[in-house]
Structure 1
Amino acid sequence: MNFDRFVVTFFVPIICLAPSVKPQTCQKNCGSVPVKYPFGTGPGCGDIRFQSYVTCNNQQQLTFSTHSGCYPITSIDYNKQIMFISDPSMSTCFCSQPSKGFSLDWNAPFSFHDDTVFALLDCSSSSSPIYKSMVDANVSNHFPLCDAQGADVCKTLYSCQAISSRVNVVPGSSCCVYTPVDLGPSFEMDLEKLQCSSYSGLYGFNGQEFNPGAWSYGVAIKYKFSFDNDYPEMCAHCEKSNGICGYSGPYNSYVCYCPNGVNTSSDCFFGSAWSISSRIFPRQTGMMFIYGTAWLFILLAIV
């Protein structure tokens, strides 16, 4: 028996799962400072480990927070992973004022950059623990904090009218320059305990070592993504697709926030397809079920 060729058509429902849609809250800039991973402009943006340290306030000022205070972030070098901050209480060649000091949280993913130099001003040479450590340098657990090569920095800073007119440039007080490594593993600079009235931080002389008016004042801070410091591959794809890396859900899972308001677990190239579907099917909310018709052609030839 021969059967003519025939076509059988099946109507099969196809279920497509679309990412949930939420208003875009993560921004690429905070004021004039570009914001990229691992930092973010609000909750759910960037890396959760950095969320409590780097924030964008209501005045669109990107700030860095530690237990010693909150400090404006002036710029970020994402290629070298260096963040530059300013401390309104620090002394410069143009302004001198009392300060409590500056410290990093010991358990935070930050450390001082090697170019950062601290000059402690108006320190008591008779009772400050800095000079006691120098006297007892040969005793166990004591070491000199002042850098002998920092004398020129102190001398140059004390030539500034703003500083020399305020500090006590007399034998009973002095200036001590030391590099961040001397702060120890706690990264603590408590000027009250060190018996110094103020400090100056700088991270560059700009080729003019004897012109303090041209120095770069502030603090340069290094940061790391993780232990091996590898840039997350998923985040790199997200940013290449014009998205913003973030996290969401009870487990703080990775999310790529896209300009069209869609968030995906992939990138915005993937999210664009769902954006088109959402306009065709406006009733979808969160997960979207699309029932279409799939044509399945089966050609049977029985001889």
Structure 2
Amino acid sequence: MSLMGYSLITYIPISISNLSSSSCFHSLYVSIILIISFAFLNLTAVQASYCRTSCGNIPINYPFGIDDGCGSPSYRHILVCSDTGKLEFRSPSGRYQVHGLSYSDPHILITDPFMWNCQDRDHFRATRPFSLDTSTPFSLSTQNDYLFFNCSEDKVIVEPKPIFCQRFPDRCDSSCDTASYLCRHLPNCASALTTSTSCCSYYPKASESLRLMLKYCASYTSIYWKNVGDNPPYDQVPDYGIRVDFDIPVTTRCLQCQDMSKGGGTCGFDTLTQSFLCLCGQGNVTTHCKAQDVSSHKKVGVIAGTVTGVSAAGTIGVGAGIWLWRKVRAKAPVTCGVQTNENRLF
């Protein structure tokens, strides 16, 4: 069995029956040490593995991680790399494919397959409201616009926003604006809706208000304003999707860990205590990779996916070694070879 480039010794035959008891005992002792040594060698090699830095063509940098123990614990289990190599965003309402991730202007762009799109035209499918976990450091961007279709005018205030706000300035935010620019200029399909379909724009301040709107509207879609780098006011164009903003927590320890002059480690955390760890090729430390105490802070099982591999090989090897050591000591001296069923290795 091979793991991380090392071979795990699971069976060392000792069947030379003409050796003395002391020689046999010494051979068993050496065998047990080899088993335990190779097992721990595998543990160290696995736990010191670096975190994956991409999923598909999307880079994965701090504060995110797709392996548990990588990045910031505040963003733990948020991003998932699927079996097909697609990056997905996890929220209480489901998992959504990520189409863009920016660190310079911190935001994630995702798409919701349940939302209305140009191909649907006047056929509105059953949908569900997108929601965020309020305990995470994410927020719906103000660059999002939400369009709602065929809303009940008995339950929803469907009016041109400028006119409604003049009449009811204190209730201005409760209006679903039928005079919206986007309703009249749907991106990529301006004429997708017929005149019999109503459209209005409303920005929900919370998931609950979005759910209430969908109770009385046939469907909805999200449009965000994409930066294209041109001169204002033509530097943004509308496109379908949901922009989710996030913060990058900057800490001295992480900056020190990432400093190339100090070893260029990867910022991570202990999966049990969530305390900071600098992940290095030689092990995990609490400062930086060139610290003198690199080997003294090695922790097994920091990165997801390594625990299973370790337990399947290393733990069995160590357990077998310890069991055998106790067995031999309890029955020493014993001659080599299989004398009874009691001292068989397998």
TM-score bin, normalised by smaller chain: 0.5 to 0.7
* Cα deviation, residue 201, structure 1: 2.2
1:219 counterpart = 2:247: no
1:126-205 equivalences under 5 Å are 126-131=153-158, 138=168, 143-147=173-177, 151-157=180-186, 160=189, 163-164=192-193, 169-170=195-196, 173-179=197-203, 183-186=204-207, 189-190=210-211, 192-204=214-226
Q: Residue 94 of structure 2 is aligned with which of 49, 69, 88?
A: 69
- The 3-state SS of whatever aligns with 1:266 is coil
Provide the rounded CA distance (Å) in 1 between the counterparts of 2:104 and 2:227: 21
After superposition, the Cα gap between the structure-2 partners of 1:95 and 1:58, relative to the gap in structure 1 and judged at 3 Å, is same
TM-score (norm 1): 0.64
* Cα deviation, residue 154, structure 1: 0.3
1:253 counterpart = 2:275: yes
**What residue number does 2:146 align with?**
118
Identity of aligned residues (%): 25
Contact 1:72 1:85 in 2 (8 A): yes
Q: Residue 69 of structure 2 is aligned with which of 20, 28, 44?
A: 44
Contact 1:129 1:194 in 2 (8 A): yes
Q: Which has the higher contact order (CA 8 A, sep 6+)?
A: 1
Query: C-alpha offsets along residues 238-293 of structure 1, whole Å, 9 cap, x if unaligned?
Result: 233332211115321111112x2522212233389759xxxxxxxxx9xxxxxxxx
* Cα deviation, residue 162, structure 1: 7.9
Provide the rounded CA distance (Å) in 1 between the counterparts of 2:209 and 2:63: 24
Over the aligned positions, Cα root-mean-square deviation in angstroms equals: 3.6
1:263 counterpart = 2:255: no
* Cα deviation, residue 138, structure 1: 4.2
**What residue number does 1:33 align with?**
58
Query: C-alpha offsets along residues 147-177 of structure 1, whole Å, 9 cap, x if unaligned?
Result: 46x522101129827832xxx631xx41111
Gaps of 5+ in 2: 1-42, 231-236, 297-313, 315-346
After superposition, the Cα gap between the structure-2 partners of 1:29 and 1:234, relative to the gap in structure 1 and judged at 3 Å, is same
Provide the rounded CA distance (Å) in 1 between the counterparts of 2:183 and 2:151: 15
TM-score (norm 2): 0.57
* Cα deviation, residue 41, structure 1: 0.9
**What residue number does 2:234 align with?**
none
- The 3-state SS of whatever aligns with 1:49 is helix
Provide the rounded CA distance (Å) in 2 between the counterparts of 1:110 and 1:158: 26
Contact 2:129 2:207 in 1 (8 A): no
* Cα deviation, residue 236, structure 1: 1.9
**What residue number does 2:106 align with?**
81
- The 3-state SS of whatever aligns with 2:85 is coil
Query: C-alpha offsets along residues 202-225 of structure 1, whole Å, 9 cap, x if unaligned?
Result: 223857xxxxxx743211111124
* Cα deviation, residue 124, structure 1: 2.4
Query: C-alpha offsets along residues 46-105 of structure 1, whole Å, 9 cap, x if unaligned?
Result: 122211322223333221122222111122221222122222233344555623232222
After superposition, the Cα gap between the structure-2 partners of 1:163 and 1:123, relative to the gap in structure 1 and judged at 3 Å, is same
After superposition, the Cα gap between the structure-2 partners of 1:95 and 1:23, relative to the gap in structure 1 and judged at 3 Å, is farther
- The 3-state SS of whatever aligns with 2:250 is coil
- The 3-state SS of whatever aligns with 2:174 is coil
Gaps of 5+ in 1: 1-19, 208-213, 276-284, 286-303
After superposition, the Cα gap between the structure-2 partners of 1:89 and 1:44, relative to the gap in structure 1 and judged at 3 Å, is same
* Cα deviation, residue 141, structure 1: 7.2
**What residue number does 1:299 align with?**
none
**What residue number does 2:134 align with?**
106
Contact 1:28 1:244 in 2 (8 A): no
